[in-house]
Amino acid sequence: MLVSLVVSFRSLFASRKRRAALISAALIMVLVVGTYAYLKSLPPASGPRVYVKTPFAEFYLELDKSEYQFGENITITFCVENTSNKTIEIYKGYIDGIDPSVFDEYFSTETYGVSGSGLNPYYFHFGYVIEYINGTEFENHLHGMIPATYRLFIEPEGYIKQTMAVFGSLIPLSPSTYRIVAFFSGVMQESVGIDLGTPEIIFTIR
Amino acid sequence: MPICGSETRSWGVERIRANCLWDNDNDTVVDEGANAGEFSIAVIDTGVYYDTYSHAYHPDLQDNVYPDGKYFYCSYGQLTISSNYWDYFNHGTHVSGIIAAVDNEIGVIGTAPYANIYVLRVDGNLKSDKAIAMAAAIDWAVDNHFYIISISMGIDANYSVLQEACDRAYASGMLIIAGAGNSDGPIEYPANYSAVIAVGAVNATLGRWNPPDLPSGPLGSCFGDQLELVAPGVSINSTANPDVYPYQYYMEMEATSMACPHVAGAAALIWRSKIDPEFDSNSDGYWQNTEVRAKLRDWALDLGDPGRDDYYGYGLINCWAPNQRPLGDINNDLKVRVDDVSLAQAAYGSEPGHSNWDPRADINIDNKVRVDDILIIALNFGKTDP
């Protein structure tokens, strides 16, 4: 059995034509796999990003694009990172959650160096406001409706990153120009609290 | 924390003396025949934990949660009702345990360990969506003849759809109990409606829950002229969702969310008791929501400024005195006799921590056995449960 397998394997290289075909096929496979791996390793196409930096934390808000088609999902990323050399304590007065049974495909949480009672993958730790460019509010997502507290501890270099894709499949924002700002509150650093708010990002629905 | 070891009562259940009613001999076992609040309560919250394969509830809730529930979800004005009431946020599971964790030799015991919980999970995108979902859940509870609703949720804006639902529910005979909110400011909705009992939170020394302020705004138990009662809301140990917090079946939480279910349990204890003729305002021989509410207020331990005030309302909920039959019967034998006097005498002058401390003798739950407690027994001496 083994002998017959070795013979048939050798026969694959018996002629120059066969060798060339095999090498070509192998090269194509390597090329395809390599290209796929390279593309996967690239960071996702990112749109506008705004930062707020303090001596101990960095907070950013990012959209995937600045211009959307009517009905298209808008992907929003919120990220806070401890840039100091001490653990940051976050004490929240309300729980705000994202229901995964509704938003399963649209919401993700990534943490590093984070612990505490608030380490629930379905808690939304940030806040945001979307307004029409004329200042009329479209959505205010600042205040959870669950009046219970929780704590988070972010170690140095630790971060919380939450991404949500909204609106497109639920209710399209009407074609117009909007602004979004994001907030991260409840930060306690050696008993000193700082409320983080980002600059605005302007985006358009065509 | 593994599910093993002995059962404990949270300090909250003990402080409002719920256990004196159903565990008069203090052996952490519900006494046979005791009133432990066998009454249905609709819990409007984030759902409740259950094993997604076996559908078994938390071991401390297994016997007390109805086998189904509802989920009211509203997205940009579109309301949907489904049966997915699994508790992703852990909150509803904790609240349910404060009301009705069972007596089963593990974990904790709730305020009314025989109460039955019906889970009405609510959520929404916009604030108005949350109000619509909450209103729909209240209407559902009315249509299905529940008498008590516990709502440990709040919205910082008034929506007529929610107010009208609360008014309808109260008019139909339902008692709605809601957490006042945590923003150290005006009471949130629905707690701020007159049809709803607004509940604030206190700590173990009965101070208003008011931790250091957050940078984004103050943090503390909300206050105002609608605040009606306060209840324990700090370091409350209760049931948790072990799938969200792996292997953690119990955890401590704090704030007005935890105070509200203590009052819901207390209401069930009163509603389950025999009508008190003194409070039977329409003399029909049955408890009405207004009568239960009056009794809850009447026996609250006054805190803060004398009388009702905006920070403590009528005071700390008292489960003990309102349920004594007759008043002054501190050993639950339905008579006020020499043995009650003897118990009170033995505990006279004591406070928690003293060797002769007996919480049963502290009828007004001020943590002191004094003349006022003895006087209640003396004034009712010789009475028997009619």
| Disruptive mutation site among A74, A89, A99 for chain B (greatest number of B CBs within 10 Å) | A99
- The pLDDT of residue B2: 37
Nearest to A145 among B155, B215, B219 (CB): B155
**What's the pLDDT score for residue B327?**
94
pLDDT of residue B181: 97
| Token pair 């009447």: residue | B298
Residue in B74, B90, B94 to test binding to A, most A beta-carbons within 10 Å: B90
Contact between B57 and B66 under an 8 Å Cβ cutoff? The reply is no
Q: Is B3 within the bounds of a domain?
A: no
Cβ–Cβ below 8 Å for A101 and B155: no
Q: What residue has token string 């331990």?
A: B301
Q: What is the C-alpha separation between B266 and B232, in angstroms, rounded?
A: 12
- A145 neighbourhood in chain B, CB within 8 Å: 127, 130, 153-155
Task: Record the tokens describing residue B247, joined without a space.
Answer: 């292997």
Claim to verify: residue B120 and residue B207 sit in the same structural domain: yes
Among B88, B114, B89, CA closest to B99: B114
Residues B286 and B366 in one domain: no
Enter the DSSP assignment of B282: T
Of A143, A146, A193, the CB nearest to B257: A146
| pLDDT score, position B3 | 45
User: In which element (H, E) is residue A5 found?
Assistant: helix A2-12
- Are the beta carbons of B133 and B46 closer than 8 angstroms? no
Same domain, B355 and B210: no
The pLDDT value given to residue B170:
98
Q: Which of B94, B127, B183 sits opposite A93 (nearest CB)?
A: B183
Residue B307 lies in a domain: yes
Residues B16 and B91 in one domain: yes
SS3 B223: strand
Report the C-alpha gap between B29 and B106 in whole angstroms. 11
In a domain, B385, yes or no: no
**pLDDT, tens digit, for every residue of A120-167?**
889 999 999 999 999 888 888 888 899 999 999 999 999 999 998 876
Residues B271, B358, single domain; the answer is: no
B187 with B271, same domain? Answer: yes
Same domain, B194 and B286: yes
Q: How far is A56 from chain B (nearest CA, A)?
A: 15
Residue B131 burial class via C-beta count within 10 angstroms: exposed 0-12, middle 13-18, buried 19 and up: buried
Q: How far is CA B47 from the centre of its chain?
A: 17
Q: Can you tell me the distance from the alpha carbon of B197 to that of B189, in angstroms, rounded to the nearest whole number?
A: 11
Across the interface, whether the CB atoms of B253 and A148 are under 8 A apart is answered yes
Helix ranges restricted to H, B118-202 = 127-143, 160-171
Q: Which of B91, B94, B215 sits opposite A187 (nearest CB)?
A: B215
> Tokens for B137?
């859940």
In this structure, is residue B349 part of a structural domain?
yes
CATH of the domain at B83: 3.40.50.200
Same domain, B240 and B347: no
Overall number of domains in chain B: 2
Do B90 and B130 sit in the same domain of this protein? Answer: yes
Residue B181 maps to a domain: yes
Judgement on whether residues B71 and B214 belong to the same structural domain of the protein: yes
- Give yes or no: residues B40 and B101 share one domain: yes
Closest Cα in chain A to B250: A117
Residue A165 DSSP code: E
Could you tell me which of A23, A5, A26 has the C-alpha nearest to residue A13? A23
Per-residue pLDDT of chain A (206 residues; tens, 9 = 90+): 555 655 565 666 667 777 777 788 888 888 777 766 665 555 555 789 999 998 889 999 999 999 998 888 889 999 999 999 989 888 888 999 888 877 766 888 999 999 998 888 899 999 999 999 998 888 888 888 999 999 999 999 999 999 988 766 666 678 999 999 999 987 776 666 667 889 899 999 99
Which amino acid, one-letter code, is at B247? Answer: Y
Domain that holds residue B355: 338-379
Q: Does residue B333 fall inside a structural domain? A: no
Q: Which residues contact B139 (CB under 8 A, 6 or more apart)?
A: B165, B168, B169
Residue type at B201 in one-letter notation = A
Whether residues B182 and A147 touch (CB distance < 8 A) is answered with: yes
Q: How many CA atoms lie within 13 A of A168 on its CB side?
A: 14
Q: Residue holding tokens 């298209």?
A: A72
Please tell me the distance from the alpha carbon of residue A28 to that of residue A33, in angstroms, as a whole number.
9
DSSP code for B101: -
Task: Report DSSP state, residue B202.
Answer: E
Kindly state the tokens that stand for A23. Answer: 């090498």
Give me the active site residues of B, please.
45, 91, 257
Domain annotation covers residue B117: yes
On the CB side of B8, CA atoms within 13 Å amount to 12
CA distances from B150 to A19, B84, B161, B198, B274 (A): 77, 19, 18, 11, 22
Measured CA to CA, the distance from residue A158 to residue A154 in angstroms comes to 5
Asked if residues B47 and B121 have their Cβ atoms less than 8 Å apart, the reply is yes
Distances (CA, A) of B269 to A162, B195, B340: 44, 20, 22
Same domain, B192 and B72: yes
Report the gap between the CA of A94 and the closest CA in chain B (Å).
7
10-residue mean pLDDT series, chain B (386 residues) = 60 95 88 90 97 93 94 92 95 97 91 96 92 98 97 96 98 98 96 98 96 77 98 97 91 96 97 92 95 97 96 97 93 94 96 95 96 95 89
